[in-house]
């Protein structure tokens, strides 16, 4: 088995609980490694730190799976970890049949994400090593949760391409099933495995539910980057009189329309297919104002090198959104970029508010991802979602 020797900084991080070894922390490689090989990680002094999946072609050189030299990386280990992760969601967090079942290194399964939607599990793999074991993982999921009848392989996106893996969307194991209906508070949503990500953005669940208490009967609401209508439908259910929901994806908007009809609020919501920036500019030129504006954009910062243009994009979209909020209105703004920390995000909002001539007051403490996307204290990468609920007043 090949060995990876890491520097002192990487060794300290692993000692504190980190499970990712970046290429910059590697001192040398002893032996030959191919993408997906299992390797052992050591300090310069020869101390064993862990073993896991390697990929010499990726910026993430090693994803550590175990820190016990005697533990075998196989189906039994995956099943044990999946069972433990699932019990945490059900016994501690009290989720029942819709939740993120596995969240990568936060559940000690780096490179693996599993979302459960009733009897369908959506599996997403972002490491060449885990790819080798995906059928074992699918079998383990169904053994841990016998109610799951379908494991859908949702293996698409940048993370796959970075690892040199093919993009695949298919039923990996079980019944040929793609759609189901889930419940979120009083709302219902269609989940289609052939949509974006793993089928539905579960990480915003608690934030969508929190929105309802800030909606007053008769409110006008703007939901930008609506995807399949999550925030928009919760606003309509909570009593908003008129909701405008914007997304650039025609397919997502079609599902959003189905969701609106499913919840009996189709007459309250106007869906627009279009660019967020262009549509907000049109609304501003018309002099439109809203009681509540919600921004839930995609990750504008995918890599550290994208930080400057990405933060500019966040600033521009938030500046546009703030100009559409009434004096005394509410502004909900989010970022799912893990490279943008909370202080950077808050500084950007403060600057956008100042330019827009707005005072901003926090309505709630800083919100983040749902607890079934656990934040591992030793791993900064597991904390990515930031969500602020703000009260907006005009500067005079």
Tell me the C-alpha distance between 338 and 369, whole Å: 12
Sheet with 168-174, strands from edge to edge, namely 98-103, 112-117, 120-125, 150-155, 168-174
* Single residue among 125, 157, 177 that ends a domain in this structure: 177
Q: What is the pLDDT of residue 225?
A: 96
Tell me the C-alpha distance between 47 and 43, whole Å: 5
| Statement to judge: residues 238 and 265 lie in one domain | yes
* Single residue among 159, 177, 195 that ends a domain in this structure: 177
Mean pLDDT of 341-361: 96
Inform me whether the pLDDT recorded for 195 exceeds 70. no
* CATH code of the domain containing 130: 3.30.750.80
Q: What is the pLDDT of residue 386?
A: 96
Mean pLDDT of 102-109: 94
| Statement to judge: residues 213 and 329 lie in one domain | yes
- Provide the pLDDT confidence category of residue 194 given band limits of 50, 70 and 90: confident
- 48-72 tens-digit pLDDT: 999 999 999 888 999 999 999 999 9
Mean pLDDT of 24-47: 95
- Provide the pLDDT confidence category of residue 196 given band limits of 50, 70 and 90: low
Catalytic residue (choose from 236, 336, 340, 376):
336
| Statement to judge: residues 249 and 346 lie in one domain | yes
Using a pLDDT cut of 70, give the percent of the chain over it. 99
Tell me the C-alpha distance between 29 and 329, whole Å: 57
Residue 221 in contact with residue 243, Cβ under 8 Å? yes
- 326-338 tens-digit pLDDT: 999 999 999 999 8
Tell me the C-alpha distance between 263 and 265, whole Å: 6
Tell me the C-alpha distance between 41 and 64, whole Å: 8
Mean pLDDT of 290-318: 92
Residue with tokens 């800030």: 214
The encoded tokens of residue 111 equal 């490179």
Q: What is the pLDDT of residue 248?
A: 95
Q: 275 CB contacts (<8 Å, ≥6 apart)?
A: 248
Residue 118 in contact with residue 25, Cβ under 8 Å? no
Query: What is the total count of domains within the chain?
Result: 3
The encoded tokens of residue 92 equal 């501690």
| Statement to judge: residues 235 and 113 lie in one domain | no
> Is residue 336 among the annotated active site residues?
yes
| Statement to judge: residues 195 and 320 lie in one domain | yes
User: Which of helix, strand or coil describes residue 246?
Assistant: strand
- Provide the pLDDT confidence category of residue 244 given band limits of 50, 70 and 90: very high
Mean pLDDT of 282-294: 97
| Statement to judge: residues 187 and 323 lie in one domain | yes
Tell me the C-alpha distance between 369 and 295, whole Å: 15
Residue 193 in contact with residue 118, Cβ under 8 Å? no
- Provide the pLDDT confidence category of residue 198 given band limits of 50, 70 and 90: low
Of 156 and 244, more confident:
244
Inform me whether the pLDDT recorded for 321 exceeds 80. yes
DSSP secondary structure, 165-182, as one string: ---EEEEEEES---EEEE
Tell me the C-alpha distance between 115 and 128, whole Å: 20
| Statement to judge: residues 43 and 162 lie in one domain | no
* CATH code of the domain containing 242: 3.40.50.150
User: Which of helix, strand or coil describes residue 342?
Assistant: helix
Tell me the C-alpha distance between 310 and 302, whole Å: 8
Tell me the C-alpha distance between 167 and 157, whole Å: 7
- 215-229 tens-digit pLDDT: 999 999 999 999 999
Residue with tokens 């000690």: 108
What residues make up the domain containing 186?
181-394
Mean pLDDT for the chain overall: 94
Inform me whether the pLDDT recorded for 38 exceeds 80. yes
Inform me whether the pLDDT recorded for 378 exceeds 90. no
| Statement to judge: residues 246 and 144 lie in one domain | no
Q: What is the pLDDT of residue 162?
A: 78
| Statement to judge: residues 213 and 336 lie in one domain | yes
Mean pLDDT of 7-15: 93
- 156-174 tens-digit pLDDT: 877 788 788 888 999 999 9
| Statement to judge: residues 209 and 332 lie in one domain | yes
Mean pLDDT of 252-256: 93
Inform me whether the pLDDT recorded for 197 exceeds 80. no
């Amino acid at each position: 088995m090949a060995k990876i020797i890491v520097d002192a900084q990487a060794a300290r991080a692993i000692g504190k609980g980190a499970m990712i070894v970046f290429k910059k922390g590697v001192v040398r490689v002893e032996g030959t490694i191919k993408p997906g090989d299992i390797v052992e990680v050591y300090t310069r002094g020869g101390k064993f730190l862990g073993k896991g999946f390697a990929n010499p072609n990726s910026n993430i050189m090693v994803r550590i799976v175990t820190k016990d030299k005697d533990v075998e990386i196989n189906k039994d280990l995956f099943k044990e970890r999946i069972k433990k992760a699932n019990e945490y969601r059900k016994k501690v967090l009290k989720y029942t049949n819709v939740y993120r079942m596995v969240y990568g290194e936060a559940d000690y399964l780096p490179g693996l994400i599993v979302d459960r939607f009733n009897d369908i599990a959506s599996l997403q793999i972002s490491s060449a090593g885990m790819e080798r074991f995906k059928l074992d993982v699918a079998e383990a999921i169904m053994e841990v949760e016998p109610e799951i009848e379908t494991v859908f392989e949702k293996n698409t996106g940048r993370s796959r391409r970075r690892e040199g893996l093919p993009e695949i969307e298919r039923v990996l194991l079980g019944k040929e099933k793609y759609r189901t209906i889930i419940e979120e508070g009083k709302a219902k949503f269609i989940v289609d495995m052939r949509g974006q990500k793993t089928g539905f953005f579960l990480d915003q669940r608690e934030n969508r539910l929190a929105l309802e208490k800030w909606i007053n009967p008769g409110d006008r609401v703007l939901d930008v980057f609506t995807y399949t209508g999550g925030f928009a439908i919760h606003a309509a259910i909570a009593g908003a009189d008129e909701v405008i929901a914007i997304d650039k994806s025609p397919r997502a908007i079609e599902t959003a329309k189905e969701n609106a009809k499913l919840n009996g609020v189709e007459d309250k919501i106007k869906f627009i297919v279009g660019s967020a920036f262009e549509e907000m500019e049109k609304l501003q030129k018309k002099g439109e104002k809203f009681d509540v504006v919600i921004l839930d954009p995609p990750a504008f910062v995918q890599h550290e090198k994208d930080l400057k243009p990405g933060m500019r994009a966040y600033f521009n979209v938030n500046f546009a959104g703030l100009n559409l909020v009434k004096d005394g209105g509410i502004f909900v703004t989010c970022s799912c970029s893990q490279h943008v920390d909370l202080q950077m995000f808050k500084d950007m909002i403060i600057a956008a508010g100042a330019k827009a001539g707005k005072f901003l007051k926090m309505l709630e403490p800083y919100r983040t991802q749902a607890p079934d996307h656990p934040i591992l204290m030793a791993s900064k990468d597991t904390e990515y979602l930031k969500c602020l609920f703000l009260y907006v007043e005009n500067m005079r």
